[in-house]
Amino acid sequence: MPEVSRQILAALSIALSIGGFIPYVWGVYRGSVRPHLVGWLIWTLLTAVVFLAQLFSGGGEGAWTTAAICAVCFVALVISLFRGDKSWTPFDWLCFVLTLLSIPLWIFSGSPLYSVILLTFIELLGFAAMTPKTWKEPRSESLSYFILSILKYVLSAAALDVWSWETALYPVATAVMALGFSTMILVRRIRISSSMG
């Protein structure tokens, strides 16, 4: 793919990352959303390591979306310090420790691949943790946010200069997870509406 095309795809993906976050910030401002401090701390660290892995593995423009997502997560982390839920569960500690382990894993293995695999697994754990609550209350999560996530990760993967496990695993896997999660939300909303009607 020509470099200009990759730059356009990366710019669109970055715009979706930032634009999709604006309603979240507005929800925090209005008080309808209360960010979870540890969740945003984990996502900030996770996306920072994935960005570096993509950058050092030749991801090029496609890696800049991950950098934008990391910046958005950091803003949410700062907001969480003032208006967020600061509680920690055992599951939060597990994900936090696993995220921190991704850094020495990369250093000692000499390859970012193992870190990217671990961080993608942590992302999966995050989706799994949200599933029971969302299954029961499908309107408690933003369907549009997850649909935008699918799109931004697909565009990010398409913008990569080099396709490898190190560069493509996280965005592709996260797009698939967001697709599955969005499908579940949509199906559950339809079924609940049908049973009530």
The residue whose two tokens read 């960010």 is: 35
Dihedral sign of CA atoms 95, 97, 100, 101 in order: negative
Q: What is the CA radius of gyration of the chain?
A: 17
Break the chain into its structural domains and give their ranges.
3-196
Distance in angstroms (rounded) separating the CA atoms of residues 97 and 175: 24
Tokens representing 25 are 């910030």
Residue 86's Cα: distance from chain center in Å?
Answer: 20
What per-residue confidence (pLDDT) applies to 174? 95
pLDDT 10s digit of each residue in the chain, 197 long? 677 888 899 999 999 989 888 888 887 788 877 788 888 899 999 999 999 999 999 999 889 999 999 999 999 899 989 888 888 889 989 999 999 999 999 999 999 999 999 999 999 998 888 888 889 988 877 788 889 989 999 999 999 999 999 999 999 999 999 999 999 999 999 999 888 76
8 Å CB contact between 62 and 54: yes
8 Å CB contact between 192 and 138: yes
What per-residue confidence (pLDDT) applies to 33? 72
